[in-house]
């Protein structure tokens, strides 16, 4: 199923080999372009709307009837979120938590996956099932015991607690993803390394790690984005601006006086930027992480 | 601090018994089953339809693939806030559009039934693109011979789709189904930003119910029971799906 991961080279190759490629639905080409265009419009419309709202002057946001195209645009909301709201704090917390989590998960998941793929561990099947269950368990089932544990340790409302919780939550998925990549490494390479006198650790670091680099990249990208996007863990463990992240910050734009839509939209747009960067520059890794992890399940 | 005092007595399965008979839990379970069934049906049907129609050599397909990756990867919290704004009763775009078409306004987030529909729409917007990408990848790795042979034999487009493409796509459909069952039972963020489970619990999915129990009701025992019951139900659903004959013969 790894072949199912759509990459452009495989596409181009199959088109070249099969010039008379069977056409799925020979309904008019125009109709198919209409479906493609409609899909694109439906996909981007809500996002465009979010950007437009974030650029409006407040009077325009609450104009009735609703205008689609704003009469004038302003950057004021983007300044407001930093001056009137603590967006800088939320942003900093989110960046720290996401980056530290990615480093921890990547460093831990590689050796775990290697051990799972290459050694006959006791309770192998049990461990694999537990990894899968951890992928399926509702996050709230983790958040409740973690809240109690961190309360006892005095770690509630700290970035440390968020990093530990996210690492625990994302690690099983990363290990699961990487086991497949390790299994794809030809055993002969490792055997010849062993013949040359390389120990397990050296084989892992110098031989296997470079070969599973695409897997490590995919798991890092997925871990980063899912940590960056998470609301529930941060909502549970962070009660003040000490540790609140961007998604929790979004809920703080709802006050007893109503919702500050302009500022909230600006914060939402800023929050989406890393996703756009990854989609643009690391599309291959993203798809690999999403599809490979899914297909092996 | 914390409600989990060491002295809390062990009460066996009492929390589970009480949870299963609680009307609030039953309401959230009903919401959950409607949400899961509706989102999966729409996302898989629409995803397959779009994938089949845009598969092939179309200009702009590469760009479309990149765009389609955006909704599944952006924060569900942002999706929730965005749809809350689109569905706003006074200033929202959707009702303004309905008014332009001389249709009556719909009380999206204030009416219990429409609120459930609203969170379903938000989820469909976010996750259908992922289904399209999965199915496109699946379609492109299909063997071409049976399709070409059927076309030569004069089978209609619909017959080919129904009798050849769909059965060949079975493994990919199973993966998509399982993924969505797992993830709908974990859905929280979108709902939290849109409705917080309201009005009157009409959109409280099981995780939302568990969260409210734990962190507003400070009832950790029942909240934990709810989340494990949710896990068991999704496991049972996966087992049933996996056992269905059509899905099993891969």
* Residue count (chain A): 297
The residue of chain B with its CA nearest to that of A289 is B73
Token representation of residue A194: 């062993």
Q: Which of residues 99-118 of B touch A (CB under 8 A)?
A: 99
Paired sense of beta strands A254-255 and A258-259, if any:
antiparallel
Whether A24 sits inside 8 A of B186 (CB atoms) is no
Tell me the C-alpha distance between A234 and A244, whole Å.
6
Query: Which residue has tokens 């998470």?
Result: A230
- In chain B the first and final C-alpha atoms are separated, in Å, by 53
CB contacts, 8 Å: B62 with chain A: 8
Nearest alpha carbon to residue A61 among B195, B83, B90, B87: B90
Q: Maximum distance among all alpha carbons in chain A?
A: 77
Tell me the C-alpha distance between B36 and B33, whole Å.
5
Token representation of residue A90: 């939320």
Tell me the C-alpha distance between A165 and A153, whole Å.
13
pLDDT in tens, A170-212: 999 899 889 988 988 888 888 888 888 878 888 888 888 888 8
CB contacts, 8 Å: A147 with chain B: 2, 214-215
Give how far A281 is from chain B: nearest CA, Å: 10
Tell me the C-alpha distance between B79 and A247, whole Å.
11
Chain-centroid distance, C-alpha B91: 27
Query: What are phi and psi for residue A73, nearest 5 degrees?
Result: -115, 155
Contact B130, A290 (CB under 8 A): yes
Query: What are phi and psi for residue A56, nearest 5 degrees?
Result: -90, 155
For residue A13, what pLDDT is reported?
41
Residue of A4, A23, A230 lying closest to B138 (CB–CB): A4
For residue A144, what pLDDT is reported?
86
CB contacts, 8 Å: B52 with chain A: 24-25
For residue A262, what pLDDT is reported?
86
Question: Best of B29, B75, B101, B233 to disrupt the A interface by mutation (most A CBs within 10 Å)?
Answer: B75
Tell me the C-alpha distance between A248 and A141, whole Å.
19
Whether A268 sits inside 8 A of B179 (CB atoms) is no
Tell me the C-alpha distance between B92 and B90, whole Å.
6
CB contacts, 8 Å: B153 with chain A: none
- Residue A69, Cβ neighbours under 10 Å: how many? 6
Q: Which residues of chain A have pLDDT under 70?
A: 1-27, 59, 63-68, 256-257, 292-297
B11 by DSSP, 3-state: which?
coil
Token representation of residue A161: 């607690």
For residue B7, what pLDDT is reported?
56
Tell me the C-alpha distance between B94 and B88, whole Å.
8
The angle at the Cα of A267, spanning A144 to B203, to the nearest 5 degrees, equals: 45
* DSSP line for A226-275: HHHH--HHHHHH--STTT--HHHHHHTTEETTEE-HHHHHHHHHHHHHHH
CB contacts, 8 Å: A8 with chain B: 62
Whether A141 sits inside 8 A of B144 (CB atoms) is no
Token representation of residue A287: 């798809």
Q: What is the ipTM of this complex?
A: 0.85
* Residue count (chain B): 250
CB contacts, 8 Å: A10 with chain B: 140
- In chain A the first and final C-alpha atoms are separated, in Å, by 11
Q: Give, as one character, the DSSP assignment of residue A23.
A: P
Query: Which residue has tokens 């008019």?
Result: A28
Token representation of residue B4: 């989990």
**Count of CA atoms in the C-beta half-sphere (13 A) of A11:** 15
Give how far B41 is from chain A: nearest CA, Å: 18
Contact B131, B40 (CB under 8 A): no
Tell me the C-alpha distance between B88 and B85, whole Å.
5
Q: Maximum distance among all alpha carbons in chain B?
A: 76
Nearest alpha carbon to residue A151 among B104, B162, B237, B6: B6
Mean pLDDT, consecutive 10-residue segments, chain B of 250 residues? 55 79 87 95 95 86 90 93 88 83 86 94 95 91 83 82 88 88 91 89 91 85 86 85 65
Question: Best of B5, B46, B137, B192 to disrupt the A interface by mutation (most A CBs within 10 Å)?
Answer: B137
For residue A57, what pLDDT is reported?
77
CA torsion sign, A91 to A95 to A98 to A101?
A: negative
For residue A18, what pLDDT is reported?
40
Query: What are phi and psi for residue B93, nearest 5 degrees?
Result: -70, -40
- Residue B165 burial (C-beta neighbours within 10 Å; 0-12, 13-18, 19+): buried
Give how far A247 is from chain B: nearest CA, Å: 6
- Residue A236, Cβ neighbours under 10 Å: how many? 24
Tell me the C-alpha distance between B81 and B109, whole Å.
12
pLDDT in tens, A64-87: 666 667 777 788 888 888 888 888
């Amino acid at each position: 199923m790894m072949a199912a991961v759509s990459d452009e080279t495989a596409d181009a190759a199959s088109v070249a080999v099969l010039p008379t490629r069977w056409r799925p639905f020979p309904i008019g080409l125009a109709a198919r372009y209409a479906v493609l265009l409609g899909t694109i419009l439906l996909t981007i419309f809500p996002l465009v709307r979010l950007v437009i709202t974030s650029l409006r002057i407040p009077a325009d946001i609450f104009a009735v009837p609703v205008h689609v195209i704003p009469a004038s645009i302003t950057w004021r909301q983007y300044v407001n979120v930093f001056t009137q709201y603590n967006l800088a704090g939320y942003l900093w917390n989110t960046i720290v938590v996401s980056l530290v989590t990615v480093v921890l998960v990547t460093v831990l998941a590689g050796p775990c996956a290697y051990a799972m793929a290459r050694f006959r561990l006791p309770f192998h099947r049990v461990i694999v099932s537990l990894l899968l269950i951890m992928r399926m368990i509702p996050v709230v089932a983790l958040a409740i015991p973690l809240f109690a544990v961190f309360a006892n340790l005095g770690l509630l409302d700290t970035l440390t607690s968020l990093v530990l919780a996210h690492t625990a939550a994302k690690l099983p998925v990363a290990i699961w993803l990487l086991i497949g990549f390790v299994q794809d490494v030809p055993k002969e390479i490792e055997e010849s390394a062993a013949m040359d006198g390389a120990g397990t650790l050296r084989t892992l670091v110098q031989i296997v790690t470079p070969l599973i680099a695409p897997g490590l990249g995919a798991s890092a990208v997925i871990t980063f984005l899912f940590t960056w996007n998470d609301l529930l863990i941060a909502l549970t463990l962070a009660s003040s601006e000490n540790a609140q992240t961007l998604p929790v910050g979004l809920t703080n734009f709802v006050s007893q006086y109503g919702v500050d839509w302009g500022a909230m939209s600006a914060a939402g747009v800023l929050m989406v930027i890393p996703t756009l960067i990854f989609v643009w520059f690391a599309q291959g890794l993203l798809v690999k992480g999403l599809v490979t992890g899914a297909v092996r399940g | 601090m914390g409600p989990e005092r060491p002295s809390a007595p062990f009460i066996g399965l009492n929390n589970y018994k009480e949870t299963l008979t609680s009307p609030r839990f039953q309401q959230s379970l009903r919401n959950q089953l409607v949400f899961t069934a509706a989102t999966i049906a729409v996302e898989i049907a629409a995803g397959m339809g779009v994938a089949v129609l845009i598969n092939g050599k179309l200009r702009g397909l590469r760009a479309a693939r990149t765009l389609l990756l955006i909704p599944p990867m952006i924060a569900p919290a942002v999706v929730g806030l965005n749809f809350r704004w689109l569905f706003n009763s006074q200033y929202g775009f959707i009702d303004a559009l309905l008014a332009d078409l001389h249709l009556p306004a719909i009380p999206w987030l204030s009416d219990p039934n429409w609120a459930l529909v609203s969170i379903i729409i938000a989820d469909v917007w976010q996750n259908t693109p992922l289904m399209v990408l999965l199915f496109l990848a699946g379609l492109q790795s299909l063997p071409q011979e049976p399709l070409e042979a059927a076309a030569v034999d004069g089978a209609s487009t619909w017959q080919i789709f129904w009798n050849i493409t769909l059965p060949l796509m079975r493994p990919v459909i199973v993966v998509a189904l399982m993924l969505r069952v797992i993830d709908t039972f974990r859905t929280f963020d979108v709902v939290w930003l849109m409705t917080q489970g309201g009005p009157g619990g009409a959109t409280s999915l099981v995780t939302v119910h568990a969260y409210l129990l734990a962190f507003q009701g400070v009832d950790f025992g029942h909240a934990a029971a709810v989340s494990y019951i949710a896990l068991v139900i999704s496991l049972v659903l996966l087992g049933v799906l996996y056992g269905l004959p059509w899905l099993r013969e891969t």
